[in-house]
Amino acid sequence: MLRGTLSLRLIGLAALGGVALVLNWVLIFAAFSRASISIATAVYNTQPFMLVALGALFFSERLTATKLVWLGVAFTGVLLIAQARPDAGYGGTDYAAGVLMALGAAFLYALAAIITKKLSGAPPHLIALIQLCVGILVFAPFAKLSELPTDAGAWTALVAMGVVYTGLVYVLLYGAIQKLPTHLTAALSFIFPIVAISVDFVIFGHRLHPMQFVGAAAILIAAAGMNLGWSLPRSKAPVPQ
């Protein structure tokens, strides 16, 4: 069964998705240290809009005027976050670079999700395995085996991220992406930044500035409105006498 499942097309697309996913994590982790977890995650949540746009491009899914309005609201939110004055620890060019990295990571994640949807019918664990192998090959030249962590806590965190977050979660995620329509997959993703912003505040004490909070709220509301089908108010046509 596995032999019939494997094909050059599947391996090629899965590998391409793996490259996008690996670069996505490189950018988002780099953004965390430059723009804080809250800011980077809020900007990263523009990926549902990119996912819907790619869905319209590759799957001819309808992109309505209402969705374009929600896209404009989210883009405004990104501008508010990027232009608001950050804390001293996140100022200068590093802060702007962090915002741009989060945007790049969002696009790459959306691209990886679209590629996964193209592989509908392929076993999710097989896609995850291929992408894991791609990740190993991509990062092998940068591995510093002489500087491995010596602390047990660091190894525990790395194993948890690899086995639970990267392994189990992505098997479940890919299975869901293949079964759900693109807009519903995108809708569920806006839960992530709410959790991340809360954790960033509770664990690290990072607070959003008022304009950044407004920008993050705009992104979340726009993502929810677009993907949950919220309609915008329309003026009623006059009733003919």
pLDDT of residue 39: 80
Count of domains forming the chain: 1
User: Cα–Cα–Cα angle for 6, 136, 23, nearest 5°?
Assistant: 95
Interatomic CA distance for residues 161 and 193, integer angstroms: 18
pLDDT per position as a tens digit, 134-175? 888 888 888 777 777 788 888 888 888 778 877 787 778 777
Is residue 240 situated within a structural domain?
A: no
Is residue 235 situated within a structural domain?
A: no
DSSP string, 48-117: HHHHHHHHHHHH-----HHHHHHHHHHHHHHHHHHHSPPPGGG-HHHHHHHHHHHHHHHHHHHHHHHHHH
Residue pair 184/39 in contact (Cβ under 8 Å)? The answer is no
Is residue 148 situated within a structural domain?
A: no
Q: Give the chain's residues under pLDDT 70.
A: 1-6, 82-93, 182-194, 227, 232-241
Is residue 183 situated within a structural domain?
A: yes
pLDDT per position as a tens digit, 94-107? 888 888 999 999 99
pLDDT of residue 234: 62
pLDDT of residue 27: 93
pLDDT of residue 191: 65
How crowded is residue 126: how many other Cβ atoms within 10 Å of its Cβ? 18
Residue 105's domain spans which residues?
A: 11-137+153-227
